[in-house]
Amino acid sequence: MPLYAAYGSNMDPAQMKDRAPHSPVAGSGWLMDWRLTFGGENLGWEGALATIVESPGSQVFTVLYDVSPEDQPQLDRWEGSELGIHKKLKMRIQTLDGPVLAWLYVLDAYEGGLPSARYLGVIADAAEAAGAPADYVEELRNRPCDSLGP
In a 10 Å sphere around its CB, with 0-12 CB exposed, 13-18 middle and 19+ buried, how is residue 2 labelled? middle
Which residues touch 91 (CB under 8 Å, ≥6 apart)? 5, 31, 34, 101, 102, 103, 104
**Any binding-site annotation on 105?**
no
**Is 136 marked as a binding-site residue?**
no
The catalytically annotated residue of 41, 54, 70, 79 is: 79
Say whether 113 counts as a known binding-site residue: no
* Catalytic site includes residue 79: yes
7 is in an annotated binding site: yes
Asked whether residue 81 is marked as a ligand-binding residue, the answer is: no
5 is in an annotated binding site: yes
CA angle 122, 125, 131 (to 5 degrees): 145
Q: Which residue positions form the known binding site for substrate?
A: 4-9, 119
Catalytic residue numbers read: 79
